[in-house]
Amino acid sequence: MLRRLIPTVDVLATNVRPAGMARAGFGYADCAAINPRLIYAAATGFGQDGPHRARPAFDEIIQAASGFADIVGEEQGRPIFVPSLVADKLTGMALAMAILAALVHRASTGEGQLVEVPMLETLTAFIGIDHLGGMAFEPPEGPAGYERLRHRRPVPTKDGWMTLLPYTAAHWRTFFTEAGREELIAELGIEDPVKRNANIERVYAATAEIAQTRTTAEWLALCDRHDIPATAFTRLEDAPEHPHLKAVGMFQLHEHPTEGTIRSTRPPTKFTKTPANVRRLAPRLGEHSRELLVELGYDEAAIRALAEQGAVKLA
C-alpha cells in the first residue's frame, strides 16, 4: 500500500529512525526510486552524520543533551525540564519550514530531495541564538549565557505576581520616576543600555522591591498609560477566559463523533487568501483507511481482505 501511495504524494514525512525505515524498504533511496520528485522529510533524534545517529531520542533526552534543561534550572542549581514537549514541537515546526523550502526548490528545478531535521541540532541552534554569549567568539570573550535573560523572573506585587518588563531607557526612566525612585536612574546607569545591562541584577532586584508597593492592577494601569510591557499571569485553566484570547476565538468547541464535545485551539496563523480552519477532528483509529484505499484504486473486496489480514484497521 505504501509503495502504491508514494508516487501520488509530494512529501513523505517520518520520525521513525532511519535504520528502521531502511529495514522496511522505505529509506530515502528506495522511495526516490519510486518517486524522484518526492520530498523525503525525516525528523531524527540526532544527525545521521554523527556518532549518536542510532540512539533513540525523546523530548527529555534532547532537553538534557542540548543544555536546555541546564539553562532552565540554573537558578535552582540543577537541570529542570520545561513541562512542555518543546524539543518535539520545535523540531516539528522546523521540519514544516524545511519541507516548504524543499517544495520551493522543486517548483523551480523539478528535483526532490532528502530533508533531515535532527532534534538535538535543532534545539541546540534554538538556544544558541541567545545563549552562546562570550562563546560566540574564538577565543571566548566570556562565559556562555545571556546575562539579562538569566535574571528575568516574575516580580511580586502587593497582591500577587506579574511580569513587569521595562525595556527601553524611556521605559525604565518612567518606571523609576512614577515609583518615586528617581535616584536609581543615575545610580543604576538606566540611560545607557550598556551600563544598565552591566547592573542588570541590581536593576531587577530594585524592580522586584518596588513592585511590592502596589497591586497588580495598579501596575498594569500605569504600564498601559506609558506603553511599558507588562502582564498579569494567567493560570492554565483560565486561558480560555483570557480577555484577548476569548475575543479572538482562540479556543473552539467541536463535536467529536465518539469523544463528545472537545475544546481545542484554532490555527493561530492568519492568511488573507487561504484562511486556516479546523476541517477535520482528531481521527479515530482507521477512520480514513477506506477513503485513502479507494483513492489508491482498491475495490471493496480488496479493502475487506486487507482488513481481515490485519494490514489495515477500518473504523
> Could you say which architecture CATH assigns to the domain 2-131?
3-Layer(aba) Sandwich (3.40)
Tracing cell 523530548 back to the chain, one arrives at: 59
pLDDT of residue 310: 95
Q: Which of 42, 46, 49, 80 has the alpha carbon at shortest distance from 63?
A: 80
pTM of the shown model: 0.88
pLDDT of residue 180: 96
Q: Which of 156, 157, 147, 190 has the alpha carbon at shortest distance from 172?
A: 190
Q: Which residues of the chain have pLDDT under 70?
A: none
Q: Which three cell numbers stand for residue 122?
A: 535543532
pLDDT of residue 208: 95
* Residue 263 and residue 278 in contact, taking contact as beta carbons nearer than 8 Å: no
pLDDT of residue 75: 84
pLDDT of residue 117: 98
Angle between helices 200-211 and 169-178 (to 10 degrees): 40
pLDDT of residue 97: 98
Assign a CATH topology to domain 151-233.
Answer: formyl-coa transferase, domain 3 (3.30.1540)
The residue ranges of every structural domain in the chain are 2-131, 151-233
Separation of alpha carbons 13 and 302, rounded Å? 27
Q: Which of 55, 43, 37 has the alpha carbon at shortest distance from 13?
A: 43
pLDDT of residue 276: 93
| 3-state SS record for 75-93 | CCCCCCCCCCCHHHHHHHH
pLDDT of residue 280: 87
pLDDT of residue 151: 72
